[in-house]
Amino acid sequence: MKYNDYSNVTARGELGARCALLSSRLESPVYRPDVIFRIEQAGWPGDWEGRTILALTCQAQVTKREPSYLDEIVLGLKEHLNERGYLGPVYDGKLNEQQLSGHGWLLRGLCEYYLYRKYDYVLPLIDGIIRGLFLPAAGKYASYPVLPEQRDNGGDMSGNTLGFIGDWLISTDTGCAYIAMDGVVQAYSVLSGSLPDRDRDEKTNALIDEMTAEFVKIPFIEIKMQTHATLTGLRGLLRRYGQTGDEKLLKETERIFSLYEKHGMTATYANKNWFDRPEWTEPCAIIDSFMVASQLFALTGKVKYAELAQLILYNGVYHAQRGNGGFGCDTCATDGVLKAHCYEAYWCCTMRGGEGLAAVAAYSVTEDGVIINPVSVDTKVNGKSLKITSGYPFSDTVKIRYEGGGKLRLFVPSFTVGVKCEYISGIDENYVYIDAPDAEFTVKIKCKTWRDGTRVFDGPLLLAGEKPLKIKGGIKKNGGRYEANGQSLVNLCGTYLQSEAETLSKEYWVELI
């Protein structure tokens, strides 16, 4: 299965409203050209700039609204580069992993911007970063410090450098050197296709092989690696798998993602910022986990990944969005109570939300007509227009209009109890097959309330209470409200429009006592 590109999908409905809020937030002063080149340069060169470019580029495509400052930011980048073609200080013979990490996002942003705009002047910017910063890193990833005694268990929400170990200036964001891998892999694809240079491309290819080989050896649990770095690294593995078809990369991604599920994921499908260190969540990683699960489903067809992607989206990603459109960090609910850790991580997570919400739209329907998560989108299936207007999972009604009609497949998760549609032509364990007419038609998807022993759900929606959950018997549902034993319940999706004061003061019990 293959998903549509961001440019071939438009977000509407609940998702479209969330994108609109985020897009507005991304035009606040801290994301404008006169600020982003100086606001965070010392600690994470390239990070603020790259995440902003990536977010605005992705949102421009799925909202079909031109960002106010995107082109100015990219045009202004060149005058801030050092003599070697990248941002920040030069470390002769040494590597700052935070600088590599930041430039991973800058490469991602510039690559997506080039693919969107097709402006030729962007290619030399990508080329300069690869030649100036990353090719000199060749041969050094084998010495990246991965022994437990080499890593510190400190760190705050924005990581900081700790000092040199060998050639590496390491960070409290353990493993962030591998955040860069996804950017380097995409840059290789863009440059080799649009600005080929045999020597550079061969060296970049060799560097990627080195990075991937060393990444899969990391003792993730033992060194308590940052889960965001791990999951972004996995996206790099999957992108490389798309280039090479090497099945080992796919198997390693599944293995490491399984470690994340066991040691890095919270009860609300968010993340622990480090493996087995449940101090706070980080929407950057929650979004990465949604993307990895969605991509693994497309590549393997294993339905567990499609179901997990929905659970991550509706409970982890959507809850982390705030009323101002940005994204903030929460507690890890290790005691069964979820509350805000900080209102907004505007220095990273808000920007990461730009690609995250775009991916929700793009990963909802495949190019050949598999509806995996029926959110409201306009997209293309087999070259024809498909329009979905959906209340799922908050209500049971989904309206579909497929230009010219044809065959569609609707994925049916285990947390639904039935699908009704006049045009069903067949069913199997995981899909309903629809012969769509050349007219708007309705699909009814009924979710079930269910328990996994400690948590209570309505379809993919995790239910929570503002006092300890003591639920016996059934749950009454009336619209978007829930009640059990006289206790009111909410789903975590519906909290994002609260004020800052409400967000910071609310507590939600998410596990039964």
How is the chain split among helix, strand and coil, in percent rounded to 5? 45, 20, 35
**Order of strands across the sheet that contains 161-165:** 95-96, 168-171, 161-165
Q: How far apart are CA 316 and CA 301, in angstroms?
A: 23
Per DSSP bridges, beta strands 441-447 and 416-420 are antiparallel
Residue 305: CB partners within 8 Å, gap ≥ 6?
293, 294, 296, 297
The CATH number corresponding to 6-363 among 1.50.10.20, 3.90.850.10, 3.30.70.1140, 3.40.50.300 equals 1.50.10.20
Of 104 and 37, the structure prediction assigns the larger pLDDT to 104
pLDDT reported for residue 360? 98
Within 78-155, residue ranges assigned H as helices are 97-117, 122-129
pLDDT at 499 over 90: yes
pLDDT reported for residue 17? 97
Percent of the chain exceeding pLDDT 70 equals: 99
pLDDT reported for residue 42? 59
pLDDT reported for residue 494? 84
Asked if 9 and 361 count as a contact pair (C-beta separation under 8 A), the reply is yes
For tokens 């035009």, what's the residue?
A: 27
> Looking at 242-246, 378-382, 413-417, 495-499, which range is the least confident one?
495-499
The partner residues of 442 in beta bridges, in order of sequence, read: 399
pLDDT tens per residue, range 306-333? 999 999 999 999 999 999 999 999 999 9
Residue 236: CB partners within 8 Å, gap ≥ 6?
178, 181, 182, 183, 184, 185, 211, 212, 215
- Give the Å distances, CA to CA, from 385 to 10, 241, 248, 405, 438: 11, 30, 37, 10, 11
pLDDT tens per residue, range 166-183? 999 999 999 999 999 999
- Residue intervals of the chain classified under CATH 1.50.10.20 are 6-363
Q: Which residue type, as a one-letter code, is found at position 397?
A: T
Closest by CA to 466, choosing from 482, 453, 479, 477, is 482
Residue 503: count of CB within 10 angstroms of its CB: 21
Confidence of residue 480 (pLDDT cuts 50, 70, 90): confident
Closest by CA to 491, choosing from 392, 350, 351, is 392
Q: How far apart are CA 78 and CA 85, in angstroms?
A: 8
**Order of strands across the sheet that contains 416-420:** 9-11, 377-381, 384-390, 397-402, 441-447, 416-420
Of 475 and 322, the structure prediction assigns the larger pLDDT to 322
pLDDT reported for residue 40? 64
Q: How far apart are CA 8 and CA 5, in angstroms?
A: 5
Residue 480: count of CB within 10 angstroms of its CB: 13
pLDDT tens per residue, range 85-101? 999 999 989 999 999 99
- Give the Å distances, CA to CA, from 226 to 216, 238, 506: 15, 19, 27
pTM over cut 0.75: yes
pLDDT reported for residue 470? 84
Residue 369: CB partners within 8 Å, gap ≥ 6?
381, 382, 386, 406, 407, 408, 409
Closest by CA to 132, choosing from 198, 81, 78, is 81
